[in-house]
Chain A
Amino acid sequence: MSTTTEKPPVTKSTQKYIGRAMKRVEDPRLLKGVGTYVDDVQLAGVVHAEFVRSPHANASIKSINTDAAKKLPGVIGVFTGADINEKAGTIPCASPLPGGKSPVHTVLAGSRVYFVGHPVAVVVAKTRAIARDALELVEVDYEPIPAVIDPEKALEKGSALTHPELGTNVAFTWGLAGGDVDAAFKEADRVFKLRILHQRVTPMAIEPRGCAASWHSGESSLTLWTSTQIPHLIRTLLPGMIGIPENKLRVVTPEVGGGFGSKLNLYSEEAVVSHLAMRLNRPTKWIEGRRENAAVTIHGRDQIGDHEVAIKNDGTVLAIRSNIIADIGSYLQLLTPAIPTLTGLMIGGCYKLKAVKVDITGVHTNKMSADAYRGAGRPEATYIIERVMDYVADELGLDPIEVRLKNMPQSGEFPFTTITGLQYDSGNYQAALEKAKELAQWPRLLKERENARAEGRLFGIGLSTYVEICALGPSKIMAAGGWEWGCVRIEISGKVTVITGATPHGQGQETSFAQIAADRLGIPIEDIVVLRGDTATAHFGRDTYGSRATALGGTAIAMSIDKIIEKTKTLAAALLEAAPADIEFAEGKFFVRGSEAKSIGWGQLASEAYVAKNLPPGFEPGLEASSFFEPPNCTFPFGTHICAVEVDRDTGQVKILKYTAVDDCGKQVNPLLIEGQVQGGIAQSLGAALMERTVYDENGQLLTGEFMDYAIPRALDIPEYALGSTETPSPSNLLGVKGVGEAGTIGATPCIGNAVIDALSPLGIRHVDLPFTPERVWRAIQEKGGTL
C-alpha cells in the first residue's frame, strides 16, 4: 500500500478497542448489495412523484395548464403551488440573522420562479416513467425577467432585484470585530490587500436525494423515509408544515449515499411528498435525478473577499480587515446565513492576531441556495488566512514556515482565546507542523524544487496549517439545540443495544460507537449492536454535521454506560452481599474491592435486573440509560498539510507529486476510519482546488448541470499520500475526541493553492483564482509571457 502511515496504533490491554483500526460492521450488507437506500424501500401500492421545474432563472408565471398531463393514462394527479402551498408550509431557515430580509419560501413556486430548477408543479403517476412523460405535458407560460447573477453588481444602486418585494438584494449583513483594528493598522510596518474568490461548488453525493412517505390512516400518522443527514431536525420542523403533530411523524433514514452537507436541509420535495402521501392516502416516492441534484440540492462556498492585512517586518501578522460578499442564491435554506459567519469566526486561523474586523454581506441572486457543504465556511476562512501567510512570506522574503511559527500560540497557551472570541480547546500546532515536515522530507523537497527550477520546471511546495471548529456545538450557539443523545440497553441476555441520535451516513459509527461501548462495558464488540437513523428508535437526536457525531454522540453513549454501571453496582452489591460503596467495576466485572476473584458479569446481572426476583429495595428493574450530552465548548482539530506540485508550462495542468497530511482530531477511536475521512476530505478539497466550479451563465442558466459538465476527482487525479497524526485530547468531552469529518476539505485547498502559486512564482505570478484549472493556469502563464 502506498499510503504511508507512521506506525500502527498501540493497543493496551485495558483499551481493547478504542484506538484500534477495525474494519466496519456495516460493510457486509453494503458489499453484498443488500443495504437499503431510499430508492430500495419497497412500499406496496407506491406512486411516483416528479417535479416540473423552471427552465428560467427568473420569470413570472402567467399560467399553468395541467389538463393534458392529467389525461395521460397512469397519472394520478398534477398539483401546482396554488393546490399545495397553503397546505405544506414554508421551507425553514434555522439560522436567520438579526435585521436580515428573506422571502417567503413556499414549497412550490407561486407566481414567479427564482432559479433554474425551481419546482413549479408536481406530477404523481403509477410509475416513474409515466410521471416523467407527464412532465412534458404540463404547459407553463413563463415571462422571463433578466436574472440577477453577479453578486457585486447586485449590490449596485439600481440593480434589478431578485426578490422585488424585499426592496434590496441584501439578504443579511453580519459584522464581527475583535481588538483595536485601527491601532493595529497604525502599528503596521506594511499593509497589503488581497482579493480572494472562493468559487461556488456542487456537493454531488453519488446518491442523489430522494424520499418516500406513507400515511397510516388508521393511526393518522406518517412515516417519511428520506436520504438525509438530519431525520431528527426534520421531525422537529416538518410537522408544523404539513399539519400533523410531532408524535405522529416518524422519520427514517435508511442507508444514505453521501451527504457532505447537501442533505443537511429540509427540502421542498420532502414536504411535498409527505403532503401528497397524506392527501392521496397512497405511499408516494420521489427520487432525484442527477440533473436535479446539480440544480436544486444546495451548493457550497461562493464568497468574494477583499482583505487588508497589517503586518510587521518581522513577519508578525497584526490584523485583518475583510469585506466578504456571500452569494447565497435565491432563498435561505436551513443554515444559509450561518455559513459565512463561520468564515468570519475562523478567519484568524491558528494565529495570534491582535485585531480582526469582518463584514459580511449575504446577497440574493437567481441561483440555487448556498448552504453547508463539507467544511461550511471554514474552508473559505482557511483559504484566506493561509494564502495571507504565504503572501506575507513572499512580501517579506521570509520562509512560509517561519512566518507561521512566529504567529502561532504555543501549546502552553491553551485554552487559547482568539481575537474573534472563540476558545480553542487544546492544541499543539508546532508539533503537527514538525511532524508533517518530517513526513514530507522537507529538506529533500526544497532540494527537489531547487533542482527542478534550475531545469526551468514549474515546481512548487505549499503548506497549510489549519484549525477548524467542530463538534457543533453548545446549544447556546445553535438554533435548535446543540446537544446529542444516546441510549444504551443491556438486554436480558446480556447483549447490548446502543442507540445514537447522531445519524451516521457512511462515516462508520456503527463500528466506532461499538468500540467505545465495548471498552467502557468491558465486553466483546460482537455483543453490541448500534442503531441509528430512525426517530422511532432514536427518540432524540440532533444528527450528523459539523464533525459532531463522535465527539457528541459518542460521549452521550459513554455517559449512558456510566449511569448503568453506577446503577448496577447496587444490584451487584446485593448479590455479593456487600455495600454498594465497596463495589468496583473493571473489565466487564463487578466485584467487592480487594476480592476480584469473586465477580459477576453483565450476563448474570442483566438477567437478575429483568427477571427481578432478587432486586435490592428501591432498585428499578432493567438496565437501560440514556443521556443528553450538552458540550461546554466546540472542539478545534488542527493539522499541517504539505504538498509538492508541478505545473505543465505548455498546458497549465497541475500535477500533485506528493501529499503529506498530519491531522490532530483529538483522541482517535478508529484510525482506519479517520484515515478514510482524511483521504476523502482531501480528495474533495483537491476537486475544489483544481477542477470544481459551479457555473451559471449571465442569464442564470446552470452550465454545470451534470457529471459531464461538472468535474469531480477521479481515481487518476489522486496523489499518493503520506499521512500522520498527532493526538491532543479535547477537554470538551470525556472521550477527548475532536472530530475529523471536514479536516481534509479544510486543510487541503489552501495547501494545493499555495503550492501552485509557489510553482508559478518564478514567473512573477502572485495570485490566480480558484480553481486552478489548466485553462486558468495556462492563461496566467501566458500573461507573463510564459517564460522565466
Chain B
Amino acid sequence: MNISVKISVNGVLHEAEVEPRLLLAHFLRETCGLTGTHVGCETSVCGACTVLVDGQAVKSCTMFAVQADGTEVTTVEGLASNGEMHPVQEGFWECHGLQCGYCTPGMMMTAVQLLERNEAPSRDDIRHALDGNLCRCTGYTHIIDAVEYAAKKGRA
C-alpha cells in the first residue's frame, strides 16, 4: 500500500505516492530526478547520501521517504543560488577537495551544517564534523582546507 508524501526539495514541493520502504535517497534520485545524492553503503556509514532535512544533516540512505513527509530537504543541487556557487562548493573547487567526486555531495552537505553551527571551526573541529563521511581519494586534507576556505569566505 502506497503512502502519500509531500516533501519540499530545494524549495520545490514534490507530492508522490510512495512505497513505505522507499528510502529518502531513492526518493530524491528516482522520484525527484536529483541524482547528485549518491548511495555508497546503504548502512549510514559512508555519508555519500547526506542531505539536509529541516537543516539537519541526515544520511538519506537510512531514512524512509515517508519519514521526511512535510519536511524541507536540501540536496547538493540546492546549494548554489542564482548560478553562484555556495562558499563550500567554491572551497572544494579552489582547494582540490574532490577527485572522483562521489563522496563530495554528502561531504559538502555535512560541511554546510558544520558552518551553520560554527562559523569559525578549527581544523580539528572540521575533522570531527566530517568523521561520518568517508572519502577514499583525497585523504581528507584538501577537504579540510576546503571547509576552512568556505568558513573564511562565509565570514567575509
Residue positions of A touching B, CB distance < 8 A: 1-3, 23-24, 26-28, 30-37, 39-40, 129, 203-208, 255-260, 289-290, 505-508, 672-673, 675-676, 679-684, 706-708, 712-716, 718, 720-721, 744
B3 at interface by CB-CB < 8 Å: no
B60 at interface by CB-CB < 8 Å: no
Instruction: Identify 29 residue pairs between A and B in the complex whose beta-carbon atoms are under 8 Å apart, listed by A's number.
Output: A1-B145, A2-B144, A3-B141, A23-B94, A28-B93, A30-B98, A31-B104, A36-B35, A37-B35, A39-B35, A205-B102, A205-B136, A206-B134, A208-B40, A257-B103, A258-B99, A258-B137, A290-B46, A505-B100, A675-B142, A676-B138, A679-B139, A679-B141, A681-B139, A682-B139, A684-B136, A713-B139, A715-B130, A716-B131
Residues of A within 8 A of B133 (CB): 715
Residues A206 and B138 in contact in the complex (CB < 8 Å), given A31-B85, A33-B76, A706-B43: no
**Chain A at the B interface: mostly helix, strand, loop or mixed?**
loop
Of all chain A residues, the one with the shortest Cβ separation from B77 is A33
Residues A257 and B134 in contact in the complex (CB < 8 Å), given A39-B35, A683-B140, A716-B128: no
Residues of B within 8 A of A258 (CB): 99-100, 102, 136-137
Is A206 a contact of B77 with CB atoms below 8 Å?
no
Is A35 a contact of B41 with CB atoms below 8 Å?
no
Residues of A within 8 A of B140 (CB): 679, 683, 713-715, 718
Residues of A within 8 A of B76 (CB): 31-33
Residues of A within 8 A of B39 (CB): 39
Is B136 a contact of A204 with CB atoms below 8 Å?
yes
Residues A206 and B96 in contact in the complex (CB < 8 Å), given A30-B101, A721-B141: no
B65 at interface by CB-CB < 8 Å: no
Is A712 a contact of B136 with CB atoms below 8 Å?
yes
Is B130 a contact of A676 with CB atoms below 8 Å?
no
Set A30, A289, A679: member contacting B142, Cβ < 8 A: A679
Is B141 a contact of A207 with CB atoms below 8 Å?
no
CA distance A205 to B48 in the complex (A): 12
Is B100 a contact of A257 with CB atoms below 8 Å?
yes
Residues of A within 8 A of B77 (CB): 32-34
Within 8 A of A (CB), among B80-107: 80, 85, 89, 92-96, 98-105
Within 8 A of A (CB), among B123-156: 123, 126-128, 130-131, 133-145, 148
CA distance A97 to B93 in the complex (A): 45
Instruction: Tell me how many residues of B have a C-beta within 8 Å of chain A.
Output: 57
Of all chain B residues, the one with the shortest Cβ separation from A719 is B141
Is B127 a contact of A715 with CB atoms below 8 Å?
yes
Of all chain A residues, the one with the shortest Cβ separation from B40 is A206
B75 at interface by CB-CB < 8 Å: yes
Is B40 a contact of A506 with CB atoms below 8 Å?
no
Of all chain A residues, the one with the shortest Cβ separation from B141 is A679
Shortest beta-carbon distance from B144 to chain A in Å: 7
CA distance A700 to B104 in the complex (A): 35
Among B41, B98, B126, chain A packs the most CB atoms within 10 A around the CB of B41
Residues of B within 8 A of A681 (CB): 139
Across chains A and B, which 5 residue pairs bring their CB atoms closest together, nearest first?
A33-B36, A257-B102, A683-B139, A506-B100, A30-B101
Set B45, B101, B123: member contacting A2, Cβ < 8 A: B123
Set B35, B102, B130: member contacting A206, Cβ < 8 A: B102
Is B21 a contact of A129 with CB atoms below 8 Å?
yes
Residues of B within 8 A of A708 (CB): 43, 45
Residues A257 and B38 in contact in the complex (CB < 8 Å), given A129-B21, A206-B134, A715-B131: yes
Shortest beta-carbon distance from A167 to chain B in Å: 40
Is B89 a contact of A32 with CB atoms below 8 Å?
yes
CA distance A345 to B77 in the complex (A): 48
Residues of B within 8 A of A40 (CB): 29, 35
Shortest beta-carbon distance from A286 to chain B in Å: 14
Is A506 a contact of B137 with CB atoms below 8 Å?
yes
Is B75 a contact of A33 with CB atoms below 8 Å?
yes
Is B99 a contact of A507 with CB atoms below 8 Å?
yes
Shortest beta-carbon distance from A740 to chain B in Å: 13
CA distance A36 to B92 in the complex (A): 19
Is A676 a contact of B38 with CB atoms below 8 Å?
no
Among A206, A507, A508, chain B packs the most CB atoms within 10 A around the CB of A206
CA distance A672 to B42 in the complex (A): 33
CA distance A708 to B123 in the complex (A): 26
Residues of A within 8 A of B92 (CB): 27, 31
Is A679 a contact of B138 with CB atoms below 8 Å?
yes
Is B127 a contact of A716 with CB atoms below 8 Å?
yes
Is A714 a contact of B142 with CB atoms below 8 Å?
no
Set B42, B93, B100, B139: member contacting A255, Cβ < 8 A: B100
CA distance A712 to B98 in the complex (A): 17
Residues of B within 8 A of A255 (CB): 100-102
Set B21, B43, B105, B139: member contacting A718, Cβ < 8 A: B139
Of all chain B residues, the one with the shortest Cβ separation from A678 is B139
B58 at interface by CB-CB < 8 Å: no
Residues of B within 8 A of A260 (CB): 136
Of all chain B residues, the one with the shortest Cβ separation from A686 is B139
Known: A27-B92, A203-B136, A508-B96. 20 other contacts (CB 8 A): A1-B95, A28-B93, A31-B89, A33-B36, A35-B36, A39-B39, A40-B29, A205-B102, A206-B135, A207-B40, A257-B100, A289-B42, A679-B140, A679-B142, A680-B99, A683-B140, A714-B131, A714-B140, A715-B143, A718-B141
Of all chain A residues, the one with the shortest Cβ separation from B35 is A40
Residues of A within 8 A of B42 (CB): 289-290
CA distance A169 to B94 in the complex (A): 52
B34 at interface by CB-CB < 8 Å: yes
Within 8 A of A (CB), among B102-126: 102-105, 108, 123, 126
Is B41 a contact of A712 with CB atoms below 8 Å?
no
Set B34, B96, B102, B142: member contacting A207, Cβ < 8 A: B102
CA distance A3 to B96 in the complex (A): 13
Residues A680 and B139 in contact in the complex (CB < 8 Å), given A1-B148, A35-B101, A206-B134: yes
Is A31 a contact of B96 with CB atoms below 8 Å?
no
Residues A680 and B38 in contact in the complex (CB < 8 Å), given A3-B145, A715-B130, A716-B131: no
B19 at interface by CB-CB < 8 Å: yes
Is B98 a contact of A31 with CB atoms below 8 Å?
yes
Residues A206 and B98 in contact in the complex (CB < 8 Å), given A683-B140, A721-B141: no
CA distance A256 to B39 in the complex (A): 13
B50 at interface by CB-CB < 8 Å: no
Of all chain B residues, the one with the shortest Cβ separation from A374 is B136
Of all chain B residues, the one with the shortest Cβ separation from A714 is B131
Residues of A within 8 A of B94 (CB): 23
Residues of B within 8 A of A28 (CB): 85, 93
CA distance A682 to B133 in the complex (A): 18
Is B96 a contact of A23 with CB atoms below 8 Å?
yes
Shortest beta-carbon distance from A9 to chain B in Å: 14
Shortest beta-carbon distance from B45 to chain A in Å: 4
Set A37, A256, A707, A718: member contacting B134, Cβ < 8 A: A707
CA distance A628 to B94 in the complex (A): 34
Is A32 a contact of B100 with CB atoms below 8 Å?
no
Is A27 a contact of B141 with CB atoms below 8 Å?
no
CA distance A680 to B94 in the complex (A): 17
Shortest beta-carbon distance from B113 to chain A in Å: 15
CA distance A658 to B121 in the complex (A): 22
Residues of A within 8 A of B38 (CB): 37, 206-207, 257
Residues of B within 8 A of A673 (CB): 96
Within 8 A of A (CB), among B21-41: 21, 29, 34-41
Residues of A within 8 A of B143 (CB): 715
Residues of A within 8 A of B100 (CB): 205-207, 255-259, 505-506
Among A129, A258, A508, chain B packs the most CB atoms within 10 A around the CB of A258
Residues of B within 8 A of A706 (CB): 41, 43, 45
Residues of B within 8 A of A27 (CB): 92-93, 98, 101
Of all chain A residues, the one with the shortest Cβ separation from B19 is A129
Is B19 a contact of A707 with CB atoms below 8 Å?
no
CA distance A259 to B99 in the complex (A): 11
Of all chain B residues, the one with the shortest Cβ separation from A262 is B136
Residues of A within 8 A of B103 (CB): 206, 257
CA distance A122 to B154 in the complex (A): 50
